[in-house]
Structure 1
Amino acid sequence: MKLLQLITQLFPLWVVSFAILSLYEPIYFTWFSGNLITYGLGGIMLGMGLTLNFNDFKLVFNTPRWVFVGVALQFIIMPILGWVLALLFELPTFFAVGLILVSCCPGGTASNVIVYLARSNLALSVSMTICSTFLAIILTPLLTTIYSGSYLEVDGWGLFYSTLKVVLLPVSIGILFNKFLPKLTKLIVPFSPPMAVILITLIVASIIGQGKEIIIDSAINLILAIIILHFFGFVLGYIISFIVLKDKNVSKTISIEVGMQNSGLGVVLAKENFINPATAIPSAISSLIHSVYGSIFVGLFKNLKQKI
C-alpha cells in the first residue's frame, strides 16, 4: 500500500519526467494513442466514480456557497484567461483552440491529490470536482464554442457527445458499481489513484511525443501562455474566493481546484473533435505546468499554513 501511495503522491514528478523523456524518445510512449487515450481517460473517470457514493453529493448541499463560488470561478476565470492569452500571444488557430478548450475543462482528480498533500479541505475539493465534472458535460462544449468562435467553427454537439461518453458514462458506472458491489469496489479502490496517475502520465507523454517537432519548433509562446494561465488560475482563485468567503483554508482548496484542469479530458476532446492533432498539445503541456504549480503550492500551503 505504501508503494501505491508513493506513486500517487509523486504524480507531478512522473508527469514531468516522462514528458521530458518523451521529447527525447517518443517511441516509448507514442504507441499509447488513438482509442487507447480515450479508454485511458474513461478508466480515470471510472476510477473516480468508484470512489464516490451518493452520500458524497450531500457535501455539495452542506456547503453550497463554498462549492458554488469555487465552481463558478473555475468556469469563469479559466475560459476568459485562455481566450485572452490566445489573443495576446497571437497563437496559431490549432494552439489557440486547444488552449481555450483546456481552459474550459473542469477540475480533475489530480487536484484532489494536491489538496490532500497540501492538507487543505479534501471534502470540498471532491465536491467541487464532482460538480464541475458533471457541469462540464454542458459547459465545456458551450464555453469552447463561444470562445473559439472567432478562430473556427466548433462542433458543439460533437464536444457534448464526447464529454458525455468519457465523463458521465464511466463516472456513473463507477458510482453504481460502488453502490451494488461494495465489497469488490473496496478491493479495487486502493489501486484507482495510482492507476489514474499512470494513465494520465501515459496520455501526456504520448501527446508530447507525437507533437515533438511542433513543440520544439514553435511552442514557446504556447508554453508561456499556459504558464501564465495556470499561475493566474491559482492566484485569482485564492484572492477572489478569500474576498468572498473570508476563509483561508477554503480559499486554498478553491485555488488548487481553479488552477488545475482535467487536461486528460482536453486531450480526448481535442483528438476526437478537431482535425489537426496539434490541438491536443496545449492540454498535454497544461498537465505538466499545473502539476509543477501544484507541487509548489503544496509546499507553500503546508509551510505557511494559516499565514496566507
Structure 2
Amino acid sequence: MIAIITRLFPLWAALCSIFAYRNSAVFVPLKPYISEMLMLVMLSMGMTLKIEDFTRVLKRPTPIVAGIGLHYLIMPLAAWLIAKMLDMSPELQAGMVLVGCVASGTASNVMVFLSKGDVALSVTISALSTIVGIFATPLLAKMYIAASIAVPVMSMLKEIFLIVALPIAFGVTINYFAPQLVKKVVPSLPLITMSLIIIVLSTVVSLSSDKIGIETVIVVIGVILHNALGLIGGYWGGRLFGFDKSICRTLALEVGMQNSGLAAVLGSSFFGPMAALPGAIFSLWHNISGSFLASYWSGKPTGTSNDHLKREDVSLH
C-alpha cells in the first residue's frame, strides 16, 4: 500500500500545490519550520547510507568534478540565453541569471534519493558546489548581468551544514551504531518522507502565491526551459563522460536543480521584487519536474547495485 501511495508522489505534489496556491493561509504559518522538515528528510536519507558510500565517491573524483563543472557551465549560460530569447525585462533577466548562477539546491539530494541515483555523490556535489558558489555566483553574475553581488557566505555555509551535512552525518552514525534499529525504521520512512516533501513544496507555493499571476507566464516558460536544459545537459553530459546510469541520473538532478531560494533573495535585495520571481517559480517547478522524473526513474533499473533497493525497503525508492 505504501509503495502504491508513494508511486503517485507527483500527483499528490501537483494537487497539494494547487491547493496551496488557492489557500495560501493554510501553509504560510509553516514557513519557520521548512528547514526542520528538510532536516528530517535528510536524516532519513542518511540512515540509508554508510561511511563506505562516501569513501567510494571520494576515491573516484571524476564524477564530482564533472557535476560541478557541468552545473556552472550549463545553468548560467542557459539562463542568459533564455532570458534574451524571451526578451525579458532587465529585472527579470537578472533574476533568471541569478537562478543559473547559484549552487545546487538541497532538493536535488532528495530527488536523487528517489531516483536510485548515487546519494553520496549527490551530497558531495551539493556541498562542494555551495562552497564553489561562494566565489562563482558573484563572478558569473557579474559576467552575465554586469552587476556586483554580495553573496551571504556565512548564511550559505550555515545552511548546507545545518540542513544537509549535519542530519545526514547523524543518520549515517545511527546506521553505523544501530543497523538493526535502522532496518526496523526504514520501512516506515517512505510515507513520512513523501509527506514532509509535499508539505515543504506546498509551503513554498503558498509563500509565492502573491507573485504568481498572468503576467508571469513568460517567466514560467523560461523557468521550464531552463530546468529542462539543466536536466538534459546533466544527464547526457554524464553519458558523454561514460558514467553509468545511476551517476548520470545524479548529475542530471544536480545540474538541473538550483538553490533558487537564495536566487530569489539575492534578486529581491539587489534588483527589485520582480527579480525574485524567477527564483520563486523555479523553487516550485524544479520540485514538480524533479518528482515526476524521480517517479519515472525509480521504476527503471540502473545496472548498478542500487537496483537491489526495493521501493518498500528505502524511503521513496
Identify the TM-score tier after normalising by the shorter chain. 0.7 to 0.9
- Of 48-57 and 248-257, deviating more is 248-257
- Of 270-279 and 158-167, deviating more is 270-279
Q: Cα distance, 1:66 vs. partner?
A: 4.3
Q: Which residue of 1 aligns with 2:196?
A: 199
Contact 1:53 1:179 in 2 (8 A): yes
Q: Which residue of 2 aligns with 1:253?
A: 249
Q: Which residue of 2 aligns with 1:27?
A: 25
Matches within 5 A, 1:108-127: 108-114=109-115, 116=116, 122=117, 125-127=118-120
Q: 1:168 to 1:126 in 2, by over 3 A?
A: closer
Q: Which residue of 1 aligns with 2:288?
A: 288
CA–CA separation in structure 2 for the residues paired with 1:237 and 1:184: 36
Contact 2:79 2:97 in 1 (8 A): no
Q: Deviations over 1:218-249 (max 9, x none)?
A: 4323211221112112222233333332x674
CA–CA separation in structure 2 for the residues paired with 1:25 and 1:127: 37
Contact 1:26 1:210 in 2 (8 A): yes
Stretches of structure 2 that go unaligned for 5 or more consecutive residues are 304-317
CA–CA separation in structure 2 for the residues paired with 1:152 and 1:272: 8
- Of 222-231 and 143-152, deviating more is 143-152
- Structure 1 position 177 matched with structure 2 position 174: yes
CA–CA separation in structure 2 for the residues paired with 1:101 and 1:13: 30
Matches within 5 A, 1:107-146: 107-114=108-115, 116=116, 122=117, 125-146=118-139
Q: State the identity as a percent.
A: 21
CA–CA separation in structure 1 for the residues paired with 2:96 and 2:20: 23
CA–CA separation in structure 1 for the residues paired with 2:114 and 2:98: 25
- Structure 1 position 161 matched with structure 2 position 158: yes
CA–CA separation in structure 2 for the residues paired with 1:25 and 1:151: 38
Q: What amino acid sits opposite 2:114 in the alignment?
A: V
- Structure 1 position 216 matched with structure 2 position 221: no
Contact 2:38 2:197 in 1 (8 A): yes
Secondary structure of the corresponding residue to residue 140 of structure 2: helix
Q: Which residue of 1 aligns with 2:9?
A: 11
Q: Cα distance, 1:302 vs. partner?
A: 5.1
CA–CA separation in structure 2 for the residues paired with 1:210 and 1:200: 15
Secondary structure of the corresponding residue to residue 213 of structure 2: helix
Secondary structure of the corresponding residue to residue 31 of structure 1: helix
Contact 1:266 1:280 in 2 (8 A): yes
Q: What amino acid sits opposite 1:28 in the alignment?
A: V
How many residue pairs get aligned? The number is 288
Contact 1:104 1:139 in 2 (8 A): no
Secondary structure of the corresponding residue to residue 105 of structure 1: coil
Contact 1:41 1:200 in 2 (8 A): yes
Q: Cα distance, 1:195 vs. partner?
A: 2.5
Q: Cα distance, 1:170 vs. partner?
A: 1.5
Contact 1:111 1:257 in 2 (8 A): yes
Q: 1:255 to 1:45 in 2, by over 3 A?
A: closer
Contact 1:9 1:113 in 2 (8 A): no
TM-score, reference length from structure 1: 0.75
Q: 1:110 to 1:71 in 2, by over 3 A?
A: same
Matches within 5 A, 1:13-162: 13-33=11-31, 35-61=32-58, 63-82=60-79, 84-85=81-82, 89-90=88-89, 92=91, 95-96=95-96, 99-100=99-100, 104-105=104-105, 107-114=108-115, 116=116, 122=117, 125-149=118-142, 150=147, 152-162=149-159
Q: What amino acid sits opposite 1:180 in the alignment?
A: F
Q: Cα distance, 1:15 vs. partner?
A: 1.6
* CA RMSD, Structure 1 to Structure 2 (Å): 3.6
Secondary structure of the corresponding residue to residue 55 of structure 1: helix
Q: Deviations over 1:154-188 (max 9, x none)?
A: 32332222222212221222222222232333333
Q: 1:189 to 1:274 in 2, by over 3 A?
A: farther
Q: What amino acid sits opposite 2:111 in the alignment?
A: A
Contact 1:50 1:177 in 2 (8 A): yes
Q: Which residue of 2 aligns with 1:119?
A: none
Contact 2:42 2:167 in 1 (8 A): yes
Q: What amino acid sits opposite 2:125 in the alignment?
A: S
CA–CA separation in structure 2 for the residues paired with 1:260 and 1:190: 29
Contact 2:75 2:101 in 1 (8 A): no
Q: What amino acid sits opposite 2:99 in the alignment?
A: L
Stretches of structure 1 that go unaligned for 5 or more consecutive residues are 117-121
- Of 10-19 and 146-155, deviating more is 146-155
